[in-house]
Amino acid sequence: MRKTRLAVFASGSGSNYEAIAEACRDGRLDAEVVLLVCDKPGAKVLERAKRYGTESFAFTPKDYESREAYETVLATMLDERGVDYVCLAGYMRIVGKVLLERYEQRIVNIHPSLLPSFKGAHAIQDAVEYGVKIFGATTHFVDETLDGGRIIDQGAIVYEGNDIEELTNLIHAIEHKLYVKTINKLINKKF
Ligand code: GRF
C-alpha cells in the first residue's frame, strides 16, 4: 500500500525532523518524508536531511517578492510530490493563505508549551518566568492564527528546577515522541 507522504518544514536544528525521519526508517511510521523545506540556507536540519537521504529545498524568503510568491513555489513542489501532510517543525514563519488554502487541515505544527498557554517564539522561557511547574508540548492543526488551530495531542512533565537548558532538553524529548504519535493519528485518520 502507498505510504503516507510527508513534507517537513524547518528553520533550525531539526531534531523533530530527525525524530520523524527515524520513525519512518525504523517502521514506527508507515510514512516517508519526501521533502524537507528550509527557509535558512545553512541550517543544521539540512545536514540531517542529507544523512537520511531526504530531498531538501532551501530558500531565502527575501529573494521572493512576497509570501504568496514563495508559497506558490512551495505548493507546486508539494503537489508534484503528492504530499499528504505538511509537518512544521521549528519553521519560524507564518504560513500564508496560499498554503493554508491548498493544504487545508493538512498542515500541523508542534509547539513547546501546553497550548493555549504560552504562544509565540519564547514559550519555554515565558512559562518559566510565569512560574509554571507543568510544562509540555502540543501538536495542532495550523490555521491563520499564531499557534492556534485545533489541538491534536499534548505531552506534559512536571519540572520544578530552574535550568532552562535541562528543561528544554526534556521538552524536546517529549516532542520527538509526540510528533510520531500525532503523525500516526493523521495516517489512521484518528483526530
Ligand atoms: C521545537 O521546540 C518546536 O516545538 C518549536 O521549535 C523547536 C524546533 O526544534 N516549534 P528542532 O529544530 O526540531 O530541534
The residue range of the domain holding 183 is 4-187
> Residue 138 is part of a domain; what is its CATH number?
3.40.50.170
Can you tell me the distance from the alpha carbon of 183 to that of 175, in angstroms, rounded to the nearest whole number? 12
Residue tagged 522561557 (cell numbers) = 125
| Amino acid found at 88 | L
Taking the CA of residue 15 as reference, the ligand 1 atom at the shortest distance is 14
Residue-wise pLDDT for 18-36, tens only, equals 999 999 999 999 999 999 9
pTM of the model: 0.97
Residue-wise pLDDT for 161-174, tens only, equals 989 999 999 999 99
Expressed in angstroms, the distance from the first to the final Cα of the chain is 22
Residue-wise pLDDT for 48-76, tens only, equals 999 999 999 999 999 999 999 999 999 99
Q: Please state the domain count of the chain.
A: 1
| Any atom of ligand 1 within 6 Å of the Cβ of 54 | no
User: Does 140 qualify as catalytic in the annotation?
Assistant: no
Can you tell me the distance from the alpha carbon of 18 to that of 23, in angstroms, rounded to the nearest whole number? 8
In a 3-state reduction of DSSP, which class is residue 131?
Answer: coil
